[in-house]
Amino acid sequence: MNVIDLGEKLDRFSDHWSPRIIAALNGQEVKLAKFIGAFDWHAHPDEDEMFLVLKGAFTMEFRDRSVEVGEGQMLVVPRGVEHRPVAEHECSVMLVEPASLVNTGDADTSERTTTATWI
């Protein structure tokens, strides 16, 4: 039961689209990630995802609309909804998602699939 310093954790990595686990609770993982550019279109058939912007902003694209998510704002993407995060400039995001979640969901993009590691 130690305090987690989000700034210190974010300073420990610089790569994009590669979440790092900072906590776990009730089968969920709390992760930090840095976004820049566009990720791949994908959906998670069985899992919801929560995105909380800590620094910067990004756009969550859906097939029928786009949603701007700014610093201090959060968005939940319900299971089964196809989406793609896009960041014009680097942003830092906290994610809360089931421990079993694969970051690329149902997309066939093995080069972007990562297994989150603890920091």
* Amino acid at residue number 85: P
Minimal CA–CA distance to 51: which of 111, 21, 92, 18? Answer: 92
Structure letter (DSSP) for residue 17: S
Read off the CATH number of the domain in which 41 is found.
Answer: 2.60.120.10
pTM of the full predicted structure?
0.90
* Domain that residue 106 falls in: 13-118
State residue 108's pLDDT score: 64
Query: Does residue 5 sit within a domain?
Result: no
The whole-number pLDDT of residue 115 equals 74
pLDDT digits (tens, 9 = 90+) for 13-61: 999 999 999 999 999 999 999 999 999 999 999 999 999 999 999 999 9
**In this predicted model, what pLDDT tens digit does every residue of 68-102 receive, in sequence order?**
999 999 999 999 999 999 999 999 999 999 988 76
